[in-house]
Amino acid sequence: MIISRNISLFPYNTFGLDVLADFFAEVDSVDSFRALMLDSVYETNERLVIGGGSNILFTKDFKGLIIKNNIQGIEEKKLSETEVLVKAGSGLPWHSLVIWSIAQNYGGIENLSLIPGLVGAAPMQNIGAYGVEIKDVFHELEAIDMQSGELAKFQIQDCEFGYRESVFKNKFKNKYFIVSVTLRLANLQQPSTIYKMKTAYGDIQHTLAEMQADGTSIKQVSDAVIKIRQLKLPDPKELGNAGSFFKNPTINSAQFEKLIAQYPLMPNYPNVSNKEEIKIPAGWLIEQCGWKGKVVGNTGSHLKQALVLVNYGKASGSEVWQLALAIKKSVLEKFGIEITPEVNIY
């Protein structure tokens, strides 16, 4: 097992932050992870698993061991005439799994097209976009207990999935290394499979119409999602970012009534996991506080989506974090709403 020292994490985080890690190792199997566990560097240091680094903000050098995941592979198994189980190695890029599924005509994750990062981090925050979350198609995952080295299986009820949340982001943070994720997808190769695509969300319908597509294939829906995302979101290869920096907050109906009276144009959606609450897009709140498109030193809030904080090239992680704190404070002062980061801060 090769463990490198003083490695720059610049190529390993989509914010493009040039921080150093004391130690760095890559694993490509359960065995190689267990071999790493035997090294004294593993034993004596703080450890952090990374995938694509697209949901991490490093505010300083990492004093410990970075474990870069590179576990590959896709296996499939028939579950029934209409459903298939697809087991993916956690080091596979998420979007390549989506593209593979579409090529097989397996439905369920087409709305999650073009989300950066690797398969192993997808359950971590229950990735979601355009009305679909990974929990909707989740079957099970395998993970190594980072203390004992034992392999455990997690079923859906064990994962405590919520809005951009799971047990792995909370109680089990840095306790398990996810090695594979199995999804239950609709087998559209079978003409008898009944499958309803989700196209009601956001601009999907409108984009399908623009593309002169009738919205009857998962490939069309994926293409529409890709088109919308490419128009709206900054490509981390060109402008460092980690997607939405904050989660969309939810408020109770009393607070909602008060705010909507004051801001009649405030967008709002029901919170699907709690009927008593209303979801308010954090991007709108941030925009109303005057941050959208604002450049602050080497950082800023993106011109097309205020929720995305960007690195204009030379930002430090702490600069991005200071901006995030200033945004958070102004949203609290103006609306009385506490917004919390979606991005993992280190």
Token pair listed for 313: 């090239």
Minimal distance, residue 171 CB to ligand FAD, in Å: 13
Residues 6+ apart with CB under 8 A from 256: 268, 278, 280
State the catalytic residue, choosing from 113, 222, 244, 301.
244
Closest of 262, 259, 331, 335 to residue 292, by C-alpha: 331
Establish if 246 lies at the interface with ligand NAP (CB under 6 A). no
- Catalytic residue selected from 164, 166, 184, 222: 164
Shortest approach of ligand NAP to residue 303 CB, angstroms?
13
Measured from the CB atom, is 53 or 243 closer to ligand NAP? 243
Nearer to ligand NAP, 65 or 181 (CB): 181
Q: How far is the CB of 186 from ligand NAP (least distance, A)?
A: 21
Decide if 224 contacts 207 (C-beta within 8 A): yes
244 included as an active-site residue: yes
Q: How far apart are CA 221 and CA 256, in angstroms?
A: 33
Give residue for tokens 């593309």.
Answer: 211
Binding of residue 305 to ligand NAP (CB under 6 A) = yes
Buried b (16+ CB within 10 A) or exposed e, 247-264: bbbbbeeebbeebeeebe
Binding partner of residue 16 among ligand FAD, ligand NAP, none, CB under 5 to 8 Å per kind? none
Phi, psi for residue 76 in degrees, rounded to 5: -130, 150
Reduced to 3 states (helix: H, G, I; strand: E, B; else coil), residue 310 is strand
Shortest distance (Å) from residue 112 CB to ligand NAP:
9
Segment interacting with ligand NAP (CB under 6 A) among 168-176, 216-224, 243-251, 293-301: 243-251
83 annotated active-site: no
Which of ligand FAD, ligand NAP, none does 52 bind, CB closer than 5 to 8 A by kind? Answer: ligand FAD
CB 251 within 8 A of CB 285: no
Spatial contact of 11 and 28, defined as CB atoms under 8 Å apart? no
How many CB atoms within 10 Å of residue 21? 23
Length in residues, the chain: 346
Out of 13, 248, 250, 344, the residue judged to bind ligand NAP by CB under 6 A: 248
Q: List residues near ligand FAD by CB under 6 A.
A: 14, 48-56, 69, 90, 115-118, 120-122, 124-125, 127-129, 168, 176-178, 233, 236, 241-243, 344
Two structure tokens written together for 59: 């505010």
The nearer residue to ligand NAP, 160 or 203, going by C-beta atoms, is: 203
Stretch that binds ligand NAP, among 80-88, 90-98, 128-136, 150-158 (CB under 6 A): 128-136
CA distance 1 to 68: 13
Nearest-approach distance from CB 258 to ligand FAD, in angstroms: 30
Residue nearest to ligand NAP (CB): 243
Residue 23 Cβ, how far from ligand NAP at the closest point, in Å?
Answer: 28
Direct distance between the N- and C-terminal alpha carbons of the chain, in angstroms, rounded to an integer: 25
| Contact window for ligand NAP (CB under 6 A) among 99-107, 123-131, 154-162, 255-263 | 123-131
What is the Cα–Cα distance from 306 to 167, expressed in whole angstroms? 28
Using CB under 6 A as the criterion, which residues of the chain lie in contact with ligand NAP when the complex forms? 128-130, 201-202, 232-233, 243-244, 248, 269, 281, 283, 305, 342
Catalytic residues: 164, 244, 342
